[in-house]
Amino acid sequence: MRLAVIAAALLLPLLLAPVANAGKANDTISIAFAKELEHIDPYFNTAREGVLLGNAVWDGLLYRDPKSGQYVGNLATSWSWVDPTTLELTLRQGVKFHNGASFDADDVVFTLNYMVDPKNGAKNTVATSWIKRAEKIDQFKVRIITNGPFPAALEYLAGPVIIHPHEYYAAVGPAGVATKPIGTGPYKVVSVEPGKHYVLKRNDDYFAAAKPKAKVETIDIRTIPDINTQMAELFNGTIDLVWQVPSDQADKMAGRGNFQVLNAPTMRVGYLSLDAAGRSGAKNPMTDVRVREAVYHAINRDGIVKALMKGTTEVINSACSPSQFGCATDVASYSYDPDKAKALLAEAGYPNGFEIDFYAYRDRPLAEAMIGMLAEVGIKANLKYLQYAALREKRIKEGVPMSFLTWGSNSIADASAITSEFFTMGGEDDARDKSLSDLLEKADSSVDPAERKTLYKQALSTIADKAYWVPLWNYSTNYIMSKDVSFTPTPDELVRFNEIGWK
């Protein structure tokens, strides 16, 4: 309590200080990232922050218009399927990378073939796992050969699949890109302090065939994990924009009148992944479906959303985001019922509960609320709070018994970007259910939309019936901006730096 009083006293002068307008005067938008980005190359991280930088600095072959949802040409001007596994694309001529190199087929072929080669260690495997190889037809024509029919290909080519300059990348590799990235996008990176600070400058020569040119000259991004420090800097005028702000903080800021506070839905979902396969240890209780069901019944999801999240956040029951193609929502659900949870634990041989490690990387208040609810039914969960990259690596290498995670699907509006990512025998698949994996692989490759929906429904029903996950909620997010900033959030949670401007 004493520490809280001291902190409040230190913060008070900042709260009373007038908001500075230095950002507008210098044509600089200052943004706070809440978590440390492990690598700036979008293929070597799976964080939301990486998606945002990727969209600003690089380009994809296609672009999905955020208003219409239609695919339009970006680095490619046209495309067609030669056969069910061969996509041919004609590339845009006259595009330049930030270092002056000309864009052509060699860049596409190099980038895709490099990223699908396991020996190169790309982290964002969901982006390219559907690609078998890329082939050059001529200087401005390529073919992408898929591992099988993949109807969501255009969605991926308009999202996480970005193109690097082949000569530069071959010379410096991922390590060089980490500090000196080169793309074709609306912003150039002029300064990198890995994981801490990024400065972007407007690319005045941007070709802007689909993605608009940048409005603001400079984007200055700093990693500020502590939410109280973020709010203090907003008041001090040293930050212009921050998002994923907890509801209690957003409510306080809305009452001040000097800021814009917006709440918008996203594609991001929260979930508990339970180690049904027992990868984290022979005595892991999560291998028993009755224990997994008990965990589900122990969590008051509605209560957490109403008390701590608010906005447009909604409880979900499926292992996907409702806005994604194939996300069936009419699956088994488990009501909040502590008595039922205790009965299931007793039936499974744990009448007095048990002790277990509970891993998380964000939203600590939400994690602590769930840990308190688990304690009420006899499960003593010990919070292990890690950075996202460290938790992901631990899950891949050895598994963890319980983990509270979120996933934004790289803003891909297709169930393959989440359900298939976590239930097809990959490193973060805690179920390891071969029949479920086979079902999803069929869903991913079917060219019949109706069949895809049917197969995803079967897979999502299996996940719910066996309680492999505890789907929690479809996040909304709170954006707080200085009064002079002009920005409209979109449901894909893509903060498009090039579309931020001044009022």
In this structure, the strands spanning 241-242 and 469-482 are antiparallel
Output the CA–CA distances (angstroms, integers) from residue 190 to 139, 183, 198, 220, 329, in the order listed: 30, 12, 8, 10, 45
The one-letter code for the residue type at 248 is: D
- Check pLDDT > 60 for residue 15: no
Confidence (pLDDT) at 67? 85
pLDDT of residue 20: 39
Average pLDDT, integer, range 97-122: 98
| Assigned domain for 246 exists | no
**104/6 Cα distance (integer angstroms):** 59
Report yes or no on 245 lying in a domain: no
Nearest Cα neighbor of 423 from 320, 322, 334 is 320
- What is the SS3 assignment for 313? coil
Instruction: Check residue 17 and give its pLDDT.
Output: 37
The tokens describing 455, both together, are 């197969």
Q: What percent of the chain has pLDDT over 70?
A: 96
**Whose structure tokens read 């680095």?**
75
pTM of the predicted protein model: 0.84
Structural domain range at position 293: 266-476
Q: Phi and psi dihedrals of 22, rounded to 5?
A: -60, -35
Say if 13 falls within a structural domain.
no
Q: Which helix (H) or strand (E) holds 237?
A: none
277 and 324 assigned to the same domain = yes
Is residue 2's pLDDT more than 80? no
Q: What is the pLDDT of residue 257?
A: 77
**Most confident residue range from 36-40, 74-78, 388-392:** 74-78
Cα(193)–Cα(385) distance, rounded to whole angstroms? 24
What is the rounded CA–CA span in Å between residue 333 and residue 500? 40
471 and 492 in a single domain? The answer is no
| Total number of domains constituting the chain | 2
Q: Look at residue 11 and tell me if it is in a domain.
A: no
pLDDT of residue 422: 97
pLDDT digits (tens, 9 = 90+) for 192-243: 999 999 999 999 999 999 999 999 999 999 999 999 999 999 999 999 999 9
Q: What is the CATH number of the domain that holds 358?
A: 3.10.105.10
Confidence category of residue 491, pLDDT binned at 50, 70, 90: confident
The answer to whether position 260 is within a domain reads no
- Residue 256: per-residue pLDDT: 82
Q: β-strands 354-360, 402-407: how paired?
A: parallel
Average pLDDT for the chain: 93
Q: Are 304 and 437 in a shared domain?
A: yes
Three-class DSSP labels, 423-436: CCCCCCCCCCCHHH
State the pLDDT at residue 258.
85
* 460 in the same domain as 397: yes
| Eight-state DSSP code of residue 332 | -
Check which CATH number belongs to the domain holding 79 and give it.
Answer: 3.40.190.10
Shared-domain flag, residues 144 and 203: yes
Cα-flanking dihedrals φ and ψ of residue 418, to 5°? -135, -60
Over residues 457-474, the mean pLDDT reads: 98
Read off the pLDDT of each residue in 26-35 and give the average, rounded to a whole number. 95
Between CA 209 and CA 76 the distance in angstroms is: 10
Read off the pLDDT band of 12 (50, 70, 90): very low
Residues 201 and 294 in one domain: no
Q: How far apart are CA 140 and CA 90, in angstroms?
A: 6
The rounded distance, in Å, linking the Cα atoms of 357 and 368 is 13
CA dist 360 and 154 (Å) reads: 33
- 29, burial (CB in 10 Å: exposed 0-12, middle 13-18, buried 19+): buried
Which residues, including other chains, have CB under 8 Å from residue 3's CB and lie 6 or more apart?
Answer: none
**Side chain identity, residue 276:** A
pLDDT at 401 over 50: yes
Pairing status of strand 28-33 against strand 402-407: unpaired
Distances (CA, A) of 115 to 195, 206, 229, 261, 501: 22, 25, 37, 39, 34
Per cent of the chain over pLDDT 90 is 88
Tell me the mean pLDDT in the region 82-111. 98
pLDDT at 310: 85
Q: Closest Cα partner for 485 from 28, 54, 52?
A: 28
Q: What are 234's two structure tokens? A: 């907003």
What is the mean predicted confidence (pLDDT) over 402-421?
Answer: 95
16, pLDDT greater than 60: no
- Enclosing H/E stretch for 30: strand 28-33
Closest CA to 473 of 260, 301, 324: 301
Nearest CA to 154 out of 90, 62, 267, 55 is that of: 62
Q: DSSP state, 60? A: B
User: 130-139, 148-157, 276-285, 462-471: which range is least confident on average?
Assistant: 276-285
- Res 149 pLDDT > 60: yes
Q: Say if residue 414 is in the same domain as residue 497.
A: no
279 lies in the same domain as 378: yes
In this structure, the answer to whether residues 493 and 421 fall within a common structural domain is no
Same domain, 277 and 401: yes
Coil, helix or strand at residue 363: coil
Residues 182 and 276 in one domain: no
Q: Is 76 exposed, middle or buried (0-12, 13-18, 19+ CB in 10 A)?
A: buried
Confidence class for position 7, pLDDT limits 50, 70, 90: very low
Residue 251 lies in a domain: no
How far is residue 359's CA from residue 273's CA, in Å, rounded to a whole number? 10
In this structure, what token pair is assigned to residue 401? 């018994």
Are 438 and 299 members of one domain? yes
8 inside domain: no
End-to-end CA, the chain = 41
Residue 46 domain-assigned (yes or no): yes
Q: Is the pLDDT of residue 472 over 70?
A: yes
pLDDT of residue 458: 98
- Lowest pLDDT segment from 19-28, 114-123, 258-267, 485-494: 19-28
Q: How far apart are CA 87 and CA 153, in angstroms?
A: 9
- What is the pLDDT, as a whole number, of residue 436? 98
